[in-house]
Amino acid sequence: MLLYNSLRGKKEEFFPLGKDHVRLYVCGITAYDYCHVGHARSAVVFDVLVRYLCFKGWKVTFVRNFTDIDDKIIKRAAAEGLSAAEVAEKYIAAFYEDMDLLGILRADHEPRATEHIPGMIRLSQRLIEKGYAYATAQGDVYFRVRTFEGYGRLSGRNIEELRSGTRVEPGEQKEDPLDFALWKAAKPGEPFWPSPWGEGRPGWHLECSVMSEELLGLPLDIHGGGQDLAFPHHENEMTQSMAATGGEFARFWVHNGFVQVNAEKMSKSLGNFTTIRDILANFLPEVLRFFLLTKHYRSPLDFSFDSMEETEKALQRIYQTMALLREHGARTKWSNSALPPELEEELSGLENDWTRAMEDDLNTAGALGHVFGAVRLANRMLENKGWQKSTPSRDLGARILADLHYWGQALGLFQAEPQAWLTGLKDSRVRRKGLDVVRVEELLAVRQQARQAKDFEQADAVRQSLLDMGIEARDTPAGQVWDVA
RNA sequence: GGCGGCAUAGCCAAGUGGUAAGGCAGCGGUCUGCAAAACCGCGAUUCUCCGGUUCAAAUCCGGAUGCCGCCUCCA
């Protein structure tokens, strides 16, 4: 498959270095607050990548870390009156709650920075021995950026340009403003670990270098994360690892694009973020997951509740067709009439298109378009009175259902039992709109009676008042049903 | 200022140099007591603009304009 490699700025054919074994490392969260849509996107994108790599028959070892010690956690701990460890614990637990709902598979290893302090100290020592790093009198250890040939390769920067952007915090004893911290001396009241340079804590970039090497071995096949991590985090991570080992760090760098709000990046600092739990209070988790896959993973994606409602309808359409296909498959009488061969050919085409989209840099948006192609095909077949009872239609229907299930496994969608899902959707909408179900049922009963009495004037009047409440009454062969408009 | 990305119908969005997927909304038809759902049909002679390469460009090259991101913590 083709994957866009940030290292070279183009799509490249991906294959694992070990014959059938992909080693994948993705930067997880810093556990200091609830996750927002941006975190969800990153998690979903790499979840789909893992699922798809597995589909291709490769064995995947996936590592996703937690940063459980850093400035923001310490700050948050002070604000919440907890220890840094307690803050990390709390938000890691919240992460699992949110991500489990979104259908994010657990990684094979989910290490925390604080579990790898000895390794980080060893890596720092290695770098000092090689002359790439130095310790200051006050117990900080910095990486000497200028000693590393090619710094800036990943993020497309050169050292001279970076110069202007850097600044030195008061009290820092850097040799050069560009140098970044490997180890930070503890300030009073901060959590610390003993080290050859005194009590302190690791810098941010170090953990990923250490954990990826220890758990997967270098070079990694793929290293992933959000676009905003490319610089400085990934650049520094790559630099220190390559300096230490003298070899390659990661063969492919994959970066997902941002979630935006009104065309601006959703971020903590701008305060324009919506948490996953805010969304799940109003929408089914699968709707959010689907939404996050409706655009190519490298492009910016604008989030809004309006888009969520739109996505909800689109996903509902797929489940509705799945429900119809289930019903259709459960028929007991079949005729021998034929089905035009084009239908099967069309489906084969869609199957190929789906795979081609996924093979092309994980184009989930394109792939979803082809899923709808299959939905339309199914509906067309089910609707046709000449076809719907035929044995070939039974087989084609089963094949479409199997395709939807298969595609959905790779995307982490469409796995629910259709009727149950549709019922869940209705409940979710009722809750969101604060509807009074008892009142709705009463009105429906009135309309039912009026209809039976052929008093269509009253029946329509009732339907109008239901509509005013946001309820749509529908008459089907099976009787009256309703849905949230 | 440096580097990078994006500009496709009312909105969202895919698009491998060969003549514009799909979703939402809208309109017409089938179905229906009337509707809804579903299906069928309609909708960009055109892909921000201007040049260039080519038999052929939304797709490649150059330029302009606009928006965004990174350069500082950030998925």
Q: Is the CB of A359 under 7 A from strand B?
A: no
A177, closest nucleotide (Cα–C1'):
B72
Confidence class for position A93, pLDDT limits 50, 70, 90:
very high
Measured distance CA(A171)–CA(A256) in Å, rounded: 36
Residue A421 has pLDDT above 80, yes or no: yes
Q: What per-residue confidence (pLDDT) applies to A321?
A: 95
Q: What per-residue confidence (pLDDT) applies to A177?
A: 87
Q: Is the CB of A174 under 7 A from strand B?
A: no
φ, ψ for residue A81 (rounded to 5)?
70, 30
A164, closest nucleotide (Cα–C1'):
B71
Q: What per-residue confidence (pLDDT) applies to A195?
A: 97
Q: Is the CB of A322 under 7 A from strand B?
A: no
Exposure string over A146-162, b if 16+ CB within 10 A, otherwise e: ebbeebbbbbebeeeeb
- Kindly provide the residue ranges of all beta strands, DSSP E only, lying in A401-455, ordered along the sequence: none
Between CA A263 and C1' B66 the distance (Å) reads: 13
Residue A445 has pLDDT above 80, yes or no: yes
Q: What per-residue confidence (pLDDT) applies to A268?
A: 86
Provide ipTM, 2 decimals.
0.95
pLDDT digits (tens, 9 = 90+) for A5-21: 999 888 999 999 988 99
Between CA A78 and C1' B39 the distance (Å) reads: 61
* C-alpha Rg value of chain A to the nearest Å: 27
**DSSP-assigned letter for residue A199:** S
pLDDT digits (tens, 9 = 90+) for A121-131: 999 999 999 99
Q: Is the CB of A426 under 7 A from strand B?
A: no
Q: What per-residue confidence (pLDDT) applies to A169?
A: 65
Q: What's the half-sphere exposure (Cβ side, CA atoms, 13 Å) at A103?
A: 22
Q: What per-residue confidence (pLDDT) applies to A228?
A: 92
Q: Is the CB of A436 under 7 A from strand B?
A: no
pLDDT digits (tens, 9 = 90+) for A138-176: 999 999 999 998 899 998 888 877 765 555 666 678 898
DSSP per position, A106-117? PPSB--BGGGGH
Residue A262 has pLDDT above 60, yes or no: yes
* Chain B positions with a protein C-beta closer than 7 Å: 1-6, 12-16, 21-25, 32-40, 67-75
Between CA A457 and C1' B35 the distance (Å) reads: 13
pLDDT digits (tens, 9 = 90+) for A455-466: 999 999 999 999
Structure tokens at A336: 């021998």
pLDDT digits (tens, 9 = 90+) for A35-70: 999 999 999 999 999 999 999 999 999 999 999 999
What is the three-state SS of A104-151?
CCCCCECCEHHHHHHHHHHHHHHHHHCCCEEECCCCCEEECHHHCCCC
State percent of chain A over pLDDT 70: 98
Q: What per-residue confidence (pLDDT) applies to A220?
A: 96
Q: Is the CB of A193 under 7 A from strand B?
A: no
Q: What per-residue confidence (pLDDT) applies to A162?
A: 74
Residue A390 has pLDDT above 70, yes or no: yes
Burial class (CB in 10 A: 0-12, 13-18, 19+), A37: buried
Confidence class for position A263, pLDDT limits 50, 70, 90:
confident
CA A24 to chain centre: 15
Q: Is the CB of A475 under 7 A from strand B?
A: yes
Average pLDDT of A407-420?
A: 96
A260, closest nucleotide (Cα–C1'):
B68
Average pLDDT of A410-425?
A: 95
Structure tokens at A120: 């980080």
Q: Is the CB of A228 under 7 A from strand B?
A: yes
Q: In A 89-148, which Cβ lie closer than 7 Å to strand B?
A: none
Confidence class for position A223, pLDDT limits 50, 70, 90:
very high
Closest by Cα among A185, A181, A207 to A194: A185
Q: Is the CB of A269 under 7 A from strand B?
A: yes
pLDDT digits (tens, 9 = 90+) for A209-222: 999 999 999 999 99
Q: What per-residue confidence (pLDDT) applies to A260?
A: 95
Q: Is the CB of A373 under 7 A from strand B?
A: yes
pLDDT digits (tens, 9 = 90+) for A276-313: 999 999 999 999 999 999 999 999 999 999 999 999 99
A38, closest nucleotide (Cα–C1'):
B75
Q: Is the CB of A152 under 7 A from strand B?
A: no
Helix (H) or strand (E) holding A71: helix A71-80
Q: Is the CB of A295 under 7 A from strand B?
A: yes
Q: What per-residue confidence (pLDDT) applies to A163?
A: 62
Q: What per-residue confidence (pLDDT) applies to A438?
A: 93
pLDDT digits (tens, 9 = 90+) for A228-258: 999 999 999 999 999 999 999 999 999 999 9
- Kindly provide the residue ranges of all beta strands, DSSP E only, lying in A210-269, ordered along the sequence: 220-226, 250-256, 259-261, 264-265
Q: Is the CB of A75 under 7 A from strand B?
A: no
Q: What per-residue confidence (pLDDT) applies to A167?
A: 56
Q: Is the CB of A449 under 7 A from strand B?
A: no
φ, ψ for residue A172 (rounded to 5)?
-80, 145
Q: What is each CA distance from A96 to A35, A40, A66, A90, A107, in whole angstroms?
A: 10, 11, 11, 10, 11
Between CA A162 and C1' B1 the distance (Å) reads: 12
Q: Nearest residue to B2 (CA, C1')?
A: A161
Confidence class for position A401, pLDDT limits 50, 70, 90:
very high
Average pLDDT of A87-96?
A: 98
